[in-house]
A and B are shown apart, each in its own frame.
Chain A
Amino acid sequence: MSDAAAPPVRARGLVKRYKEVLAVDHIDLNVCAGDVYGFLGPNGAGKTTTLRMALGLITPTEGSVELFGRDPMRRGARALDGVAGFVEAPRFYPYLTGRKNLELLAALDGHGAATRIDEVLGIVELAPRAGHRVGGYSHGMRQRLGIASALLRQPQLLILDEPATGLDPAGMRDMRRLIRRLADEGMTVLLSSHQLPEVQELCDRVAIVDSGRVVYEGSLSDLRRQGGAGYRLRTTDDARALDLAREQQGIDHALADDNGLGFQADERAVAALSLALGRAGVGILTLAPELATLEDLFFRLTEDGDGAGQAPSAVDEPGASDVERLVPTR
């Protein structure tokens, strides 16, 4: 049964095995209403397989996934009410026009979807090319048609798999604006992406998967905070400042480079260093906190050691092993 309070996506112990290959290894996901939820991972991490299971396209070997409390494997198409999107590249009938493709899909959706065709074509700015065969569309136009076909369903949950892949910079920018706008209007978005800046710009919560397992699930801000606070310092005498930083208690990993000094410290140690620099006659030009970027954190989580072995269970807050792994090692 569907539950009005049920989250848009809830996966528990999701496993997909292809003979000896374990594509998805006990993944838990919690996408809440209103989330713009980033689903990150390197190629082959199991993102698309997970999304296919969510949409009922493939059967989980173990575990379950529910959309608004409905299991696609049990409820079939009814489980997808209020859900739209695409996995991998959106595919259409190349011998039909863009409009005919949307008419077909609207017929398969029923209940007034056909009346929204002009509206969604306008949203994705495909109206002038709607009468052309999809076979002649560029990759970007097909991506936009994919979004248009999803919007036909007036979804409450939009599942997008690499929507900006293959788009030129302007197309990527427009795609981000559209997603942002849909999210601002209350749509929950589950966004699988390789584009870390895109995720950083759009998403408030993320799951990072590696080798079929979730290695982090939670808010992006928590992830970045737990990645360790760093500082960047520029002075009138960086060499002297480096010596002082290394002598100061509570300052770690102090290194000089062309842009000054980088180090890690808590606020109390930073204050003490400022005073020490002043006493030593070293002028501070800039002193700024430097949060780890999503890219830094992503690579630390997915490239350090054996991700599968160290991955915690998927919870809202990362476990101790996450925090240990997120501490910068430079």
Chain B
Amino acid sequence: MSSVAASPPATAARAVRTRGPSVATVYRWELRKLISQKRTYLGFALVVILPIFFVVFQNVRQSHDRGGDNIFAAQITQSGLATPVLMLLFLSVFMLPLAAALVAGDIVAAEDGNGTLKTILTRSVNRGQVFGAKVLAAITYATIAVFLSAAVATAAGVVSWGFKSVRTFSGTIVSAPEALLLVFASNGIYLIPLLTVAAIGVLLSTATRNSAAAVVGTIGLVIFLFILAQIPGLEGIRPYLLTEQFENWHGLLRTPTDWAPIAHSAWVCALYALPALFAAYLIFLRRDVAGG
């Protein structure tokens, strides 16, 4: 800085700020930050490697059990479009919630831990804008994780076993194009409970200010709810457990389409997600940023 005198700062022209940046601007930068972090790709790797491993293993395997419990498991080698359905079945329980929690649980707490929250909160953006952008970024990440996994599973399955018709849970055969549409629609429906997991992750991230605690807490809650669902005598609360909603997309793969579990999961998930996001918002708005 010894040559400061040679290059005058632009203090002479005072900027008159009429309005601050939009949530979209903050959101774009949240995505850029995500793209620049290795952790982001860890979650993606988790949900991509498993479908590839599954397909490779099934190709190497000599004999296939064609009479499994699941109708799609029985069709593995008959249609490549059975693979993404099976993968959604497997990954929806733990791996995709883990991927969503990895980013949602980190998205506020990491800024707190690094001290960068104070950096961005002393610029021309309000806390509400920052919070909104972070929630959108967590949602975006979870959505990409789901569809990336579906795309990889579909591609791997189709390459191995062809783009063929499949039999749904109801036993009805649907054409390959329709099956492909149903695969991606199912993943879209699955986003309802997954984004609820992300909302809980954001709440824990905001409240605990600790990334590890928030990620572990989110996954811990999912596991806790799974265990709760297994306890005899608690059958009455099962329809209202978040983890039960992870199967909401099954209704799409029936003929005719069963919308009831989808609608049910929508309002049950809303009961989890909206209070979580509202609480996180209030905490974020009112909290002291004293770290860093």
Residues of A within 8 A of B (CB): 49, 52, 55-59, 76-78, 80-82, 84-96, 100, 104-105, 107-113, 116, 119-120, 122-125, 144, 147, 149, 151, 153-156, 170-171, 173-175, 177-178, 181-182, 185-187
User: CB within 8 A of B26: which of A93, A95, A108?
Assistant: A108
| B124 and A77 form a contact (CB under 8 A) | yes
Q: Which of A81, A111, A155, A174 is B4 in contact with, Cβ under 8 Å?
A: A174
Q: Given A88-B292, A111-B15, do A119 and B3 touch, yes or no (CB 8 Å)?
A: no
Q: Is A105 touching B4 in the complex (CB atoms < 8 A)?
A: no
Given A77-B20, A95-B36, A154-B10, A58-B290 contact (CB < 8 Å): yes
Contact in complex: A116, B10 (CB < 8 Å): yes
Q: Is B66's beta carbon under 8 Å from chain A?
A: no
Q: Which B positions have Cβ atoms within 8 angstroms of A?
A: 1-5, 7-15, 17-21, 25-26, 28-29, 32-33, 36-38, 114-116, 118-127, 286, 288-290, 292
Other-chain contact of B1, A55, A86, A89, A123 (Cβ < 8 Å)? A123
Q: Helix, strand, loop or mixed for chain B's interface?
A: loop
Q: List 7 A-B contacts (CB under 8 A).
A: A77-B20, A81-B17, A91-B115, A96-B36, A107-B25, A147-B1, A153-B123
B35 to chain A, nearest CB (A): 10
Asked whether A91 lies within 8 Å of B17 as measured between CB atoms, the reply is: no
A187 is contacted by which of B5, B11, B125 (Cβ under 8 Å)? B11
**Residue on A with the closest CB to B285?**
A76
The answer to whether B7 touches A92 (Cβ under 8 A) is no
> Which residue of chain A has its CB nearest to the CB of B128?
A76
Complex partner residue of A77 from B4, B8, B126, CB under 8 angstroms: B126
In the complex, which of the residues B4, B19, B118, B121 contacts A123, with contact meaning CB atoms closer than 8 Å? B4
CB–CB B1/A57 < 8 A:
no
Of chain B, the residue at the smallest CB distance from A170 is: B2
Contacts of A86 in B (CB 8 A): 118-119, 122
Query: Would you call B119 and A92 a contact (CB within 8 A)?
Result: yes
Q: Is the CB of A91 within 8 A of B9?
A: no
CA distance A49 to B290 in the complex (A): 8
Residues of B within 8 A of A110 (CB): 17, 19-21, 25, 124
Q: Which residues of A contact B289 (CB under 8 A)?
A: 52, 57-58
Of the residues B4, B17, B33, B120, contact of A178 by C-beta under 8 Å: B4
How far, in Å, is B136 (CB) from chain A's closest CB?
Answer: 15
A185 & B9 in contact (Cβ 8 Å cutoff): yes
Nearest chain A residue, comparing its CB with the CB of B2: A174
Residues of A contacting B1 in the complex (Cβ-Cβ under 8 angstroms): 123-125, 144, 147, 171, 174-175, 177-178
* Nearest CB of B to A28, in Å: 21
User: How far, in angstroms, from A143 to B263 measured CA to CA in the complex?
Assistant: 54
Name the distance in Å between B197's Cβ and chain A's nearest Cβ.
25
Q: How far is the CA of A92 from the CA of B116 in the complex (A)?
A: 6
B4 close to A120 (CB less than 8 A)? no
Q: Are the C-beta atoms of A76 and B286 separated by less than 8 Å? A: no
Query: How far, in whole Å, are A105 and B119 apart by their CA atoms in the complex?
Result: 8
B17→A185 contact, CB < 8 A: no
Q: How far is the CA of A96 from the CA of B8 in the complex (A)?
A: 27
Tell me whether B10 and A108 are in contact (CB under 8 A): no
Query: Quick check: B114 and A93 within 8 Å, CB to CB?
Result: yes
How many angstroms from the CA of A76 to the CA of B127 in the assembled complex?
A: 8
| Chain B residues closer than 8 Å to A177, beta-carbon distance | 1-2, 4-5
Q: List, in ascending order, chain B residues with CB within 8 A of A153's CB.
A: 15, 123-124
Residues of chain B with a CB closer than 8 A to A174's CB? 1-2, 4
Instruction: Chain A residues near B126: list those with CB within 8 A.
Output: 76-77
How far is B45's CA from A260's CA once the two chains are assembled, in angstroms?
Answer: 77
Which residues on the A side are within 8 Å of B28 (C-beta)?
A: 107
Nearest first, the 9 closest Cβ-Cβ pairs linking A and B are: A91-B115, A174-B1, A58-B288, A108-B123, A57-B289, A110-B21, A76-B126, A77-B126, A122-B7
A87: which B residues are within 8 A, CB to CB?
118
Minimum CB distance partner of A97 in chain B: B36
B180 to chain A, nearest CB (A): 37
- Shortest Cβ distance from residue B16 to the other chain A in the assembled complex, whole angstroms: 8
Chain A residues near B17 (CB-CB < 8 A): 81, 109-111
Q: Which of A57, A95, A170 contacts B121 (CB 8 A)?
A: A57
